[in-house]
Structure 1
Amino acid sequence: MSVKVQIVEVGPRDGLQNESAIVPAEAKIALIHKLLDAGLERIEASSFVNPRWIPQLADAEEVLRGILPVEKKGVQISALVPNVRGLERARQCGLDEIALFMSASESHNRKNINKSIAETFPVLAEVAKEALALGMRVRGYVSTVFGCPYEGDVPVDNSRRVTDALLEMGVYEVSLGDTIGVATPKQVHEIFAELVKDVTTERLAGHFHDTRGTGLANVVAALEEGIRTFDSSIGGLGGCPYAPGAAGNISTEDLVYMLHGMGYETGVDLNRLTEAGAYIQEQLGRELSSKVLKANLAKRQLEEHT
């Protein structure tokens, strides 16, 4: 029997947040429906941060009301929430899962959240407590686990401390992020091997960026450490407003192609996923970085002319 790997599609939020040209809400809604049609069951649809921080996601309510409730069984739609005010906005939209975020490095945390790590813990603990009381699921993100744009190397003990704190707050899963795409497979092996000493592999996920071309290799390294959940972005969209030079997330198309070729099960239809990638590529008016998307569209074009 093949082993199931869960994919958390973050394109509509993490992928689009770095786009300077505003994508209309109706296009985001259409994209999410295409991702659902492709078989993706976990999609991060938007963020309830202050619209002044990330104008691209100012339409969070409109987008979520355009896709909720999802009739398809087993589908989980989530959004990023920075504070209790954001949680209330998420609740009013009918969401039953939120994500909390912070960094493993002090400098990036201050740039991203405008607070120290110590100051961030009580804010997120309050959000988690209220969300759990409402019956919501809470996921956690830890950024800059493998390197920080301001501090360089980040000690693994920083990531352990933040991961443990999030788990104590009641999050069901912590996604460990290579925010600037500096990780190598050796480092991924070392860090996950350390962190799984305290946490079961089922409660950890990998979030890799492909800035230096090592994204998929890092997924393989994490798979070898027992990790079975990975974040990815349609077309390879993404970046980080607070990490200069950070390229996009690993592409969902590339990830699915690789996992299927390795014998893993994802539940995702690659042909339909290509439709979703082609759609958002057309909406943005530029070629996206996904290699599998490029190859599949080139193949289709060739078939149409023969």
Structure 2
Amino acid sequence: MSENKFKLVECPRDAMQGLHDFVPTELKSEYLNLLLQAGFDTLDFGSFVSPKAIPQMADTAEVLASLDLSSTSTKLLAIVANLRGAEDAVKHEQINYLGFPFSISETFQQRNTNSSINQSLNTVEDMLSLCERNNKTAVVYLSMGFGNPYGDDWNDEIVEKWADVLVQKGVKILSLADTVGVSTPEKIKNILPKLISKFSNTEIGIHLHSTPAERFEKIEAAYNSGVKRIDCALKGFGGCPMAADDLTGNIATEDVISYLNSKGEKLNLNMGKWDEAIALSAQIFR
């Protein structure tokens, strides 16, 4: 059994952001409040990005105002894509973490945040400074961390190089993101242990996308690699709308829970509230 508490990051933002029909603010809030009561370590609940880019998240500030944080220890994470979004996010005291997608694919960085890798590195530096001044913590996602469909160079050394650059800049939480579902158990086992060993003072997490058939083997590979932080979403809903990965969704939270329970990990979740969230999800993900 693990001595360090396992951190499950439930990602309703990632699950909902690509939905075509706008989910009413009240329904979003009801769903998120159930997930807060379920007791995950962190809830990736919304994003401060252009409503033109992600219309579904246009009401993030409204949703935030209606969340009940009085009886939960769950921390809130919001995604930002530029400094303006970070400046908006840090105004909200309830938010603990600001997440930024830093792509090691030049093509995808332009596509996702309309900036180059070098410009994004400047954004990371500014965001770290902003977080420090406002008592927030930055979470940087190494996007396209397992390869990309654009033909940009990718290998383990490139991943490690950019992880090193970000850690040197002061990033404390780094999550390796499989934006288009190209990770394999072999890639996970090759890359993760190196990063966890080399950056022992940095929290290394994983944000995988997968087809349902491959979920368990990826979860197992991540766990056996020593990871203590996994992003997941109820029923595996969602993915990345900027990457057009229709066939791959998020890692299903229930699969992660089942696997970790089999390993004796104490998750301390309120499964009654979790079941209520699953029932309500049918009204959102049709």
CA distance in 1, matches of 2:133, 2:169: 12
For 1:217-232, what aligned pairs fall within 5 Å after superposition? 217-232=217-232
Cα gap change, 1:65 to 1:222, in 2 (>3 Å): same
* Equivalent position SS for 1:92: coil
Give the TM-score normalised by the residue count of structure 2. 0.92
CA distance in 1, matches of 2:40, 2:277: 11
State the identity as a percent: 31
Match status 1:22 vs 2:22: yes
Shift of 1:161: 2.7
8 Å CA contact 2:87–2:130 kept in 1: the answer is no
* Equivalent position SS for 1:67: coil
Unaligned residue ranges in structure 2 (runs of 5+): none
Instruction: Give the number of aligned pairs.
Output: 283
Shift of 1:202: 5.7
Deviates more, 1:26-35 or 1:208-217: 208-217
CA distance in 2, matches of 1:118, 1:50: 21
Match of 1:74 in 2: 73
Give the TM-score normalised by the residue count of structure 1. 0.86
CA distance in 2, matches of 1:9, 1:129: 26
Shift of 1:44: 1.0
8 Å CA contact 2:105–2:152 kept in 1: the answer is no
* Equivalent position SS for 1:23: coil
Shift of 1:244: 2.0
CA distance in 1, matches of 2:167, 2:70: 30
CA distance in 1, matches of 2:278, 2:233: 10
Amino acid corresponding to residue 269 of structure 1 in structure 2: N
Shift of 1:141: 0.8
**RMSD of aligned alpha carbons:** 2.0
Shift of 1:32: 1.1
Shift of 1:73: 5.4
Unaligned residue ranges in structure 1 (runs of 5+): 287-306
Cα gap change, 1:251 to 1:10, in 2 (>3 Å): same
For 1:1-306, what aligned pairs fall within 5 Å after superposition? 3=3, 4-11=5-12, 13-67=13-67, 70-72=69-71, 74-94=73-93, 95-151=95-151, 154-200=154-200, 203-211=203-211, 213-246=213-246, 247-284=248-285, 286=286
CA distance in 1, matches of 2:272, 2:45: 22
8 Å CA contact 1:99–1:139 kept in 2: the answer is yes
Shift of 1:57: 0.3
